[in-house]
Structure 1
Amino acid sequence: MKKVGKVATNEAVSAWGARLDTLIENKLTLSHDEAELHLYETFQKASLIQLRFNAPVMTSMLSGRKVMHLREMEPFNYQPGESLLLPSDRLMQIDFPDATTNDPTRCLALTISDEFIRETIAELNEQVPRVEAVDQWQLDIENYLLQNDPEISSLTDKLIRLFRENNPFKPFFIKNTLRELIVRLSQTQVRNGLLNQTSQHINTNRLAYVVTYIRENLTRTLSVEELCDKACLSKSHFFRLFKSELGVSPVQFILTERIRRAKAILSNPSKSITDACYESGFNSLTHFSSAFRSVEHMCPRQFKRQLFGLN
């Protein structure tokens, strides 16, 4: 790994109790047979700080903001709740536009053995094959930026705790948590592909076809039997594969798609809450309001007021 921009200081305090050698990308490194966890803190503004790792790496923002400069990508803001997967020896150039002593930028970088990743993915494909025989679980580490879901956020928090604790079972716990993280990341990438590039998979993947069918028929009642028939799968097989690749049950997916459509309708100033209710497939305002609150943690009226800054 290469790093530039060192500045010695005794003014700032590390959140992890690490020795403070520099205000820029001060690092605490913790090791395991299959991985290394690097915890970084930056306490002052800086530009084009260089980092690279000699193994595949997952970085995650913990606090503050960076601007990332990567090969074949436009510079982008990198913020808490996001993670980035990069291959071995990929140069990162990083700006820290907001970092201060009182409000540092913090992130982690988790390098994982390439062999360990391959073994985990191979076992996943053997034990839980995907819907289509031509598809394989894999982990794309080529500049892959993702929004952390609750499971990935929980696993990164758990790894920080496990790497730092003194426990005779620590190597075992870390190895199993790394395996779960790899599987969750692969699931997230498959799910994002099926949901965001559905048209690219519609002719080769039955779940992509079902997703398209659901989106085209949201305003009417959709039975699980109907969806199983569209997928040419038994009910039990359909449920298992749908949950495996999309992360939710078919009923939950239909609900979130209806709420997604309702939010788009509510974003139109000329549309009312009643319009959003019936045009997104709900048959009563009471049910719509309850379902919306369960997903968005606010009622439709609050969402619309917040969106347009209304009192």
Structure 2
Amino acid sequence: MPTLRPRHLPRQRQPELELDYARPTSLGYEAAEDIGMLRCLSHGFPTPLARWHFHDEYELHLITATSGKAFVGDWIGPFQPGHLVLCGPRLPHNWVSLDLPEGGVPERDLVIQFRHEPIAHAVEMIPELAEVMPLLERSRHGIEFFGLSERAEAHWRSLKQARGLQRFAAFCDFLGDLARCTDYRLLSSVQMQSDERDTELDRIGVIVDRISGDMATPFSAAEAAAELGLSESRFSRLFRRATGNTFTDFVNRVRINRACHLLMETDRRVTHICYEVGFNNVANFNRRFLEIKGLTPSEFRRQTEHRFGRH
């Protein structure tokens, strides 16, 4: 029988912040004296480590057993053995197995955690490391890689056994494979995807920030073009080049992305969220949400309840 939540306690909505004191060796973490800039971790399922949480480190996560539902930020999707994801700092995540055999499994997750600062500082002195920076920037959205599971597991096991310079070299080799991988997808739906140093594209970024910062105020492509002193056709070409979307599609995606967070983190009614994120028609909101997320807002909210590992 499920445990009843006391009426006076609020419903849990926020992810748990994981800090070093919550990383004992008894749960599979390496001892502090055995790690440098990165740590390797393996664990089975069920485990206290599998929960809706976030932390300051990047996390490279490989599933080796069971299948179920993955939650990365506002993304919900299936996973199975070979599922490989890089989560950026403070991006909430959890993997919930739905086909667990009796007694659980001894090894389900192979994990590498590392901090941003050592790499960012090293790039200033070692130009070759700059190759990984676009990868790390993309990871803010969560990256799922395809076709790398066997190599990823081999990399992880090499890292686990190595120490010192040998471990760092193995880590660089692993990062290089990820940086060169072209078969991936971002798990967040909105992003600036151009790496070109183009002043006009930088100006598009101003418009993107405005869209993201004030979703409830109507803002048309014609108004955006006029604000930048561009013709509407020129603006539309630049905007698609910078974001991969038309202006209207991008606005819808930004609004739906925000709606996802409100559905996950608040108890506000779907109709209230619809208007708060800038839609003026509930039917249109439901339709756009279904197109972008693959399920209705209500179903999205129901499914996100599983991110805590409770069915």
TM-score, length-scaled by structure 2: 0.42
Which structure has more relative contact order (CA 8 Å, sep 6+)? It is 2
Task: Answer 1 or 2: which has greater helix percent.
Answer: 2
TM-score, length-scaled by structure 1: 0.42
